[in-house]
Amino acid sequence: MRRKIPAIILGAAGAVGQRFVQLLDHHPWFEVVALTGSERGAGRTYEEACHWVLDIPMPEWARRMEVLPTLPKAVDAPLVFSALPAHAAREAEPIYAQAGSIVCSNASAFREEADVPLILPEVNPDHTCLIHRQRRERGWSGGIVTNPNCTSTGMTVTLKALKDAFGVEKVVAVSMQALSGAGYPGVASLDILGNVIPYIPGEEEKVESEPLKMLGDLQGEAILAAPLTISAHTNRVAVADGHMLCLSIALNRPPSDMQEIARCLADYAAPQISRDLPSAPQPPIRVLEAPDRPQPRLDVHTGAGMTTVVGRVRPDPIFDVKMTVLSHNTIRGAAGASIYNAELLVKQGIITDEWS
Amino acid sequence: MRRKIPAIILGAAGAVGQRFVQLLDHHPWFEVVALTGSERGAGRTYEEACHWVLDIPMPEWARRMEVLPTLPKAVDAPLVFSALPAHAAREAEPIYAQAGSIVCSNASAFREEADVPLILPEVNPDHTCLIHRQRRERGWSGGIVTNPNCTSTGMTVTLKALKDAFGVEKVVAVSMQALSGAGYPGVASLDILGNVIPYIPGEEEKVESEPLKMLGDLQGEAILAAPLTISAHTNRVAVADGHMLCLSIALNRPPSDMQEIARCLADYAAPQISRDLPSAPQPPIRVLEAPDRPQPRLDVHTGAGMTTVVGRVRPDPIFDVKMTVLSHNTIRGAAGASIYNAELLVKQGIITDEWS
Amino acid sequence: MRRKIPAIILGAAGAVGQRFVQLLDHHPWFEVVALTGSERGAGRTYEEACHWVLDIPMPEWARRMEVLPTLPKAVDAPLVFSALPAHAAREAEPIYAQAGSIVCSNASAFREEADVPLILPEVNPDHTCLIHRQRRERGWSGGIVTNPNCTSTGMTVTLKALKDAFGVEKVVAVSMQALSGAGYPGVASLDILGNVIPYIPGEEEKVESEPLKMLGDLQGEAILAAPLTISAHTNRVAVADGHMLCLSIALNRPPSDMQEIARCLADYAAPQISRDLPSAPQPPIRVLEAPDRPQPRLDVHTGAGMTTVVGRVRPDPIFDVKMTVLSHNTIRGAAGASIYNAELLVKQGIITDEWS
Amino acid sequence: MRRKIPAIILGAAGAVGQRFVQLLDHHPWFEVVALTGSERGAGRTYEEACHWVLDIPMPEWARRMEVLPTLPKAVDAPLVFSALPAHAAREAEPIYAQAGSIVCSNASAFREEADVPLILPEVNPDHTCLIHRQRRERGWSGGIVTNPNCTSTGMTVTLKALKDAFGVEKVVAVSMQALSGAGYPGVASLDILGNVIPYIPGEEEKVESEPLKMLGDLQGEAILAAPLTISAHTNRVAVADGHMLCLSIALNRPPSDMQEIARCLADYAAPQISRDLPSAPQPPIRVLEAPDRPQPRLDVHTGAGMTTVVGRVRPDPIFDVKMTVLSHNTIRGAAGASIYNAELLVKQGIITDEWS
């Protein structure tokens, strides 16, 4: 067996950073060699620096690891996972990319840039080729590859299956999003206990634009955004993990019936290259028939939190079909997404262990 | 001062029945003379028969009142409030109506019947004239007047204001509904703690059809449903009181800007006859400017729970406008609605105290 | 009618500060003339500086009031309410007291000092005389009067009634405390949703010591602490308002039966001077007989949030009696407590409007 | 490898019954051959009869299994797990025991009877010998073996370790109990959202008596209850799984310091016969040092839900020591307890597969 690829986690103490630590525990291909944190955390052990919020205990190897400052860059590694907030990512990620690391980033900082791949391996693995343009134009030996916002994720996987079979024209998307999506400490308990907050800053803009890039066509070294309009309402609810989305969708070709839609979703297979990666969701989409599902509490762990769960597929009196979609926001929608992307990049030969 | 009109509450021990008891405490026009309950409750005092779930104490006059059986009818009164479930309402309400009572009903049993008024006083007070046809065709000396489903209520008030100013063509409506809407014991705590349930039996059908009747035009003694299409997704969330709705709306005439929409909502005035009734919401619609409002916990008590609260008025990339609407589901959307209807019927001379 | 006494609120933007603003709206004796805040808030209007968390709208007079810095002191007033955190209180309150204001403080900073009154008007109104020693020893023309920690409050009122009738020797007290007791933003939602946190820093120490001072005897100008031992466990639960306490109590004289205990609590009357003040709880203690009460959601508003609610009075197999106590932590246990203290001080002539 | 022992689950559709199904999936020694349910459920498949409330999917083998009536007894098996409510258990369990089955029961019906073992394998495995007296006196060829109430469980394990080292004299125990302890549908959501219910019918009596039997000494074929007094307050809180207990404990021999207490708990080993059984908790007790632990959300899964988790070990100003204890109420405190008991009975030769 080949040796594992060394990986760094930037911003390891936050809610998404913790998910990276947990999901990379016993990862077959990657081995965490360094954890970074804010100035306040740097110099302490991970156990001291981190208010662990997961219901799975912190891995032993992480407890005693010293938290390093994110900048100035102290450690080299072929692979960098970034759980940084957007402003910190904007500063730090280019420095790591320039030094030769492939940065698999969950941050929003570079997602919309024309030369930065925004990837879901079961949707658009071919878009990773933007990294060559990125390296050329920016003079980097490494590069940045991003995954979408947690709310865009489940929607985009669903829309990809529908687009391939029917074409998608319009989507009204209303989310009910989990607390872990706001990080830690995130939402104050007094604000959300027995309540709904109908606003998440910057979220609707991301949900309306990111899917268009991912569902777009690659033309040379540019993405032509998919000709699709999304209208989003994003809400915060008192759920720990699992973003729910109510979708009303206008298709280009009307389906013969709802069974055809359900089948198209349930049968969706990721592109060949993305199917058998360690974090590949099995299956990519699960369609539930019970009328009251999916539910975050009961279904969020489907496919180890990587599967997109769809239910309530039924006719829409205005558009063609409506449905409810659930996706685990810190696994499929954040840390798991970056890791799945990194696995794809290994398979594509963009990340290698011949680095140091 | 004239003497108060005697009123009966059918199904007084349930969650909506309790709201009737609370809202009719010290009502200036109505006096509760009898409470009815299921066979199990009948014969006990209201205090014994009722698991009181409101955070306002049970009124003293209600504690010692004996709960009577709903049927056979033992008591006569000019006014009957019905908090019965649909199947019980279908049996009992006609018996009271035939005997001469005006039944102001929160039940869904008769809402869709062509000769039964479905009323929101700030929307369609003229529709009460259907009661004459109802009396004639059914041979009743009293009658049944209904109010809509709790989720339809806030939406219909909002759409009425928009329809008058712009015309309304299509609405995608996604609800996040409170637990009290399911009655008591209603939703099991294990099902909703930290969870969302994306399904409420029968609810979407009501939300898609009831507004069309209320927004329809009276032609002779029939209602011509409004030419409007609604697509609804209804969800249950862990909130005690207050139904939230995310609306995406296509108008007939595009607004010049969002200010015009907000102003049209904020300035909406109920028809003259409904304005100064004791339960009339002041104002009918409140428009909030803060980007994260309305919220159930903070805004549900606006206008003593009778005001429809609107926020997040903004352009919709598919339709014309999107917004969030909040309405108190057991006050404006249930007991308060029936009481406001009864006040309207008094003003119209349909309910009188010259009855006995 | 005499003119109202001008009052300042220090730390007005926090959770307790907001309660002061709300409870002083339309107060018959006091008028808020200034609000202070942290450096960050100062210079903005109260509406801008404050994330309002109460479900009652912000009073109109407060919205446009400019938030002043707490220090350096810019405004004089005979009465100052302090909602400052302990460290800020330790610095600012003496400055106001020296300048002649009576500071009615909810902060813990000075509670335990020998010359500072720690007051519940229905328990120990005579302890206010410590203020003369305080003025003499510290050279202040005003003074500081404190109210206890929110968890000590309901327990001390209960123990006072029992002490007068039976004597109290030992108390095991286990709390289940509301989120608003931690201020805003306070407890992170991810930490408490579907959870219990069995620790509140510094809380058990306060609960074990403050009641001893309040239940102590005044000897000259010193308090002799009550000869009573308290053992406290303090827990945080997912409740918005209302601290619950399970008490197991050893008395000096055994009661003849539980009725005697319940009667002694229900009949407890505050000392004459404290009975008819505007914020006096009516009644001081309410005893509930239903086996499953008190509950925060149903009972926290008893007596406008000023009444201590007791239930489940029953024999204790180790000590003499056990019971459950509920008290509104931001009204009776914080802002309402300071206001009730200020009213007592007016009645005692310690606060006057002949000040400026 | 020997063949597995056939087992029946009585009352399989309820919340505890579901835990039996989940925990017996892939059990190394036992194989479920029948599921029983109420009259309403009987005749349907388990999937149809059961409202599954666990966040782990229903095992495939259970889905299609037909639910049989509990009575009249249709199936024979050497081992019967009972998740019946008390009244149904009182009728059905003797019928199975008489027919030769060993009934490992989670019901309270027979726990207090002098000839019925009440067992925690890490506490009193020798008490199972009562079954011989039970068989003799009742003329049964099988027998009933019970496990304690979910709230007694974690407390008894903790007290056993303390009793062995120091002797235990008095305990004040205040619980904060999870919703799953009330079964399904159990607690209504409107009753517990943002609330605490300070009463659980019959619970305090069990918590005050059951530990005395389990900690008692076996004298011949009788149990001499431990000379220990417990005072319990039991409360329901909005937590899904995991009962918390605050304990104040008087010991017979004072500890030298708190370290000695913590060590005695952390080092506690089950009697030899109970240590290596498949469901044996590893370790029996975990002691946490962080000041804010245990917490249900973070710690309930410790030792696969079988470990008793203790934290906040500190001096008690009235007694000797206070601490917080957490135990998973439907695993360690219910289904897992019965299964662990059955494993012990296999090891002791009381359950065998030579039965049919």
Q: Are residues C64 and C175 both part of a single domain?
A: no
Pair of tokens at residue B168: 């309304």
Instruction: For strands D168-177 and D229-236, give the pairing.
Output: parallel
Q: What confidence tens digit (pLDDT) does each residue in A218-229 have?
A: 999 999 999 999
Rounded to whole angstroms, the Cα distance separating A328 from A336 reads: 9
> For the packed helices B150-166 and B203-214, what is the interaxial angle rounded to 10 degrees?
40
Q: What is the CATH number of the domain that holds B282?
A: 3.30.360.10
Residues of B in contact with A323 (CB under 8 A): none
The reply to whether residue C317 touches residue D208, judged by beta carbons under 8 angstroms, is yes
CB spacing of D55 vs A193 below 8 angstroms: no
Q: Could you tell me which chain B residue has the CA closest to the CA of A294?
A: B198
State whether B142 and B159 are in the same domain.
Answer: no
Identify the pLDDT of residue A354.
66
Q: In terms of domains, do D93 and D198 share one?
A: no
Tens-place pLDDT, residues D293-336: 999 999 999 999 999 999 999 999 999 999 999 999 999 999 99
- Segment A183-221, tens digit of pLDDT: 999 999 999 999 999 999 999 999 999 999 999 999 999
Is B193 within 8 Å of D189 when comparing Cβ atoms? yes
Count of B–D CB contacts within 8 Å? Answer: 60
Give domain status of residue A66, yes or no: yes
Instruction: List the single residue in D53, D54, D194 with the smallest CB-CB distance to A194.
Output: D194
Which chain A residues have a beta carbon less than 8 Å from that of D54?
A: 298
In this complex, which of A15, A186, A190 lies closest to C179 when CB atoms are compared? A190
pLDDT tops 60 at residue C216: yes
pLDDT at residue C307, as a whole number: 98
Residues C98 and C199 in one domain: no
Examine residue D354 and state whether it is found in any structural domain, yes or no.
Answer: no
C neighbour chains, 3+ CB pairs within 8 Å: A, B, D
- Put simply, the answer to whether B235 touches A244 (Cβ < 8 Å) is yes
Q: What is the pLDDT of residues C53-108, one digit of tens each?
A: 998 899 999 999 999 999 988 789 999 999 999 999 999 999 999 999 999 999 99
- The SS3 of residue C215 is coil
A121 alpha-carbon distance from chain centroid? 10
Separation of alpha carbons C162 and C152, rounded Å: 15
Chain A CB contacts of D297 under 8 Å are 55
Neighbouring chains of B at 3+ CB pairs under 8 Å are A, C, D
Q: Which residue in chain B has the smallest CA separation from D179?
A: B190
Residue D163 shares a structural domain with residue D258: yes
Q: How far apart are CA B114 and CA B98, in angstroms?
A: 18
Which stretches of chain B score pLDDT less than 50? 1, 356
DSSP code of D332?
Answer: I
Q: Residues B230, B171: contact at Cβ < 8 Å?
A: yes
**CB-CB under 8 Å, C300 with B55:** yes
Residues of chain B with C-beta less than 8 angstroms from the C-beta of A176:
176, 196, 235, 237
Residue B354 maps to a domain: no
Say if residue C256's pLDDT is above 60: yes
Query: Is 60 exceeded by the pLDDT of residue A159?
Result: yes
Q: What is the pLDDT, as a whole number, of residue B354?
A: 65
Exposed / middle / buried, residue C241 (Cβ in 10 Å: 0-12, 13-18, 19+): buried
In a domain, B355, yes or no: no
Chain A CB contacts of B231 under 8 Å are 248, 316-319, 322
Local structure of residue A271 (DSSP, 8 states): -
pLDDT in tens, B127-180: 999 999 999 999 999 999 999 999 999 999 999 999 999 999 999 999 999 999
Closest-CA residue of A relative to C189 is A189
Chains that touch A (3 or more CB pairs under 8 A): B, C, D
Q: Is residue B356 part of a domain?
A: no
pLDDT of res. B210 = 98
> Among partner residues B188, B238, B240, which is closest to D184 by beta-carbon distance?
B188
Residue contacts between C and D (CB atoms, under 8 Å): 123
| Chain D: touching chains (3 or more CB pairs < 8 Å) | A, B, C
Sheet arrangement for strand B285-287: B229-236, B168-177, B243-251, B321-327, B308-315, B285-287
Q: Looking at the 3D structure of chain A, how many domains does it have?
A: 2
DSSP state letters, B49-63 = H-----SSPPPHHHH
Q: Give the range of the structural domain holding residue D87, as residue numbers without chain letter.
A: 5-149+335-347
Looking at the fold, whether C140 and C154 belong to one and the same domain comes out as no
Partner-chain contact A53 C190, CB within 8 Å: yes
CB contact under 8 A, B179 and D190: yes
Known active-site residue D246: no
Least CB-CB distance to C298: which of B55, B193, B300? B55
CA distance, residue A35 to nearest chain D CA (Å): 23
User: Is D19 within the bounds of a domain?
Assistant: yes
Residues A91 and A154 in one domain: no
Q: How confident is the model at residue C356 (pLDDT cuts 50, 70, 90)?
A: very low
Among the partner-chain residues A55, A193, A194, the one whose CB lies closest to the CB of D301 is: A55
Please, which residues bridge with residue D230 across strands? D171
C150 is catalytic: yes
Binned at pLDDT 50, 70 and 90, residue D356 comes out as very low
Report the amino acid identity of residue C45.
Answer: T
Whether residues C124 and C182 fall in one domain? no
Q: Is residue A355 part of a domain?
A: no
Decide if B55 and C301 are in contact by the 8 Å CB cutoff.
yes
The first and second tokens of residue A351, run together, are 């990340």
pTM over the 0.90 mark: yes
CA-CA distance, A203 to A54, in Å (whole number)?
24
pLDDT at C325 over 50: yes
Give the C-alpha separation, A313 to C68, whole Å: 56
Chain D residues close to B50, C-beta within 8 Å: none
Q: Are residues A120 and A57 in the same domain?
A: yes
Whether residue C1 is predicted with pLDDT greater than 60 in this model: the reply is no
Same domain for C187 and C315, yes or no, is: yes
Task: Give the pLDDT score at D355.
Answer: 52
Average pLDDT over residues A81-85: 97
Binding-site residues on chain C for chain B (CB distance < 8 A) = 52-56, 193-194, 297-298, 300-301
D108/D94 Cα distance (integer angstroms): 14
Are residues C268 and C316 located together in one domain of the fold? yes
Residue D122 reports pLDDT greater than 70: yes
Indicate if B193 and B301 belong to the same structural domain. Answer: yes
pLDDT at A272: 98
The yes-or-no verdict on residue C354 having pLDDT over 80 is no
pLDDT the model gives residue A356: 46
Report yes or no: A339 and A29 within 8 Å, Cβ to Cβ.
no
Are B296 and A246 a contacting pair at CB < 8 A? no
CATH number at residue D105: 3.40.50.720
The set of catalytic residues of A is 150, 243
Tokens coding C11: 């730390």
A354 assigned to some structural domain: no
Q: What's the confidence (pLDDT) of residue B1?
A: 43
